[in-house]
Amino acid sequence: MKYRYLGNSGFKVGEMTYGNWLTHASQIDDAAAIATVHAALDAGITSFDTADVYANQAAEVVLGKALSGQRREGLEIFTKCYWPVAASGPNDTGLSRKHIMESINGSLKRLGVDYFDLYQAHRFDYETPLEETMQAFADIVRQGKALYIGVSEWRAEEIAAGHKLAKDLGIQLISNQPQYSMLWRVIEAEVIPTSESLGVSQIVWSPMAQGVLTGKYLPGQQAPAGSRGAHEKVAKPMERLLTNEELLRRVQLLKPLADDCGATMAQFALAWVLRNSNVSSAIVGATTPEQIKANVGALEIQIPDDVAKVAEDILGDSAVFDPAETKSPPARLT
């Protein structure tokens, strides 16, 4: 495993982070999930990302079981809060002090750990004063429940405002967790330049566009059996991609480029996001140990500038660039 600093801090994370958004307690059973986590550990992955909302708290429990017995100091464990879990009462959503404090306590218990290396705001909360949110995060850091603070899917101006308050409070906001891939490039125009100026870096999710960039989904054909796209529940967020025949056709044209780099299409997609110096880590999910072992091979892939340019030109306007696509709910869910 190769490591990069997270933001302007002394904290290093693996260039590849294992995430369990749509897999644990959802797409695969616990035994398969634990086997995949152990395969990730065997492959050198030490960074793990989850959230309380994943599988309505159950994903955190499964990850906790899978990591039980590992040397805690040798792991980097991240989780997030914002969305309602278990119940949807008036205080069960958002970034109020009440919800943050209750959320981190629940996550610590479910993971079976004493602290998180990184605790993240899963979205921006327009109904809670940012000062309240950042003060709660500062107290969490001072209590030793989290070492560093991050955010997820915040816009450039929101990251800047949160970073300033964090600095005033004597804590570090060091990361943002956005969606980023060859097909979803909305952070490039504003979020990345702002982050670079502040000493904030990205831990990106869906670097393979939920599997579409692996090339497994072919135009005019049903999703392969056992794939995420064939799963009745977890395929829903992919519907926009899977029904776009032109997009799927263009993705197939990337295969010769990947071949020339000695990479699978999945490795090619991962290596592409890691070319960005503001990306500290790419989050990968997996349903089998074989997938995770293959994904780690992306760390050895080098994509020349001219090859990357050809890939980007092939995808063309199939990729999304508009910074306005970075969105948080306008109001809390009730």
The DSSP line for 38-75 is: HHHHHTT--EEE--TTTTTTHHHHHHHHHHTTS-GGG-
Exactly one of 3, 5, 18, 54 is catalytic; name it: 54
Q: How far apart are CA 95 and CA 200, in angstroms?
A: 20
Beta-bridge partners for 194: none
Q: Where are the alpha helices (DSSP H) in 8-155?
A: 30-42, 58-67, 97-111, 130-142
Candidates 301, 222, 223; CA nearest to 266 is 301
22 and 77 Cβ atoms separated by less than 8 Å: no
24 and 54 Cβ atoms separated by less than 8 Å: yes
Residue 82 annotated among the catalytic residues of the structure: no
C-beta atoms surrounding 286 within 10 Å: 22
Active site (catalytic) residues: 54
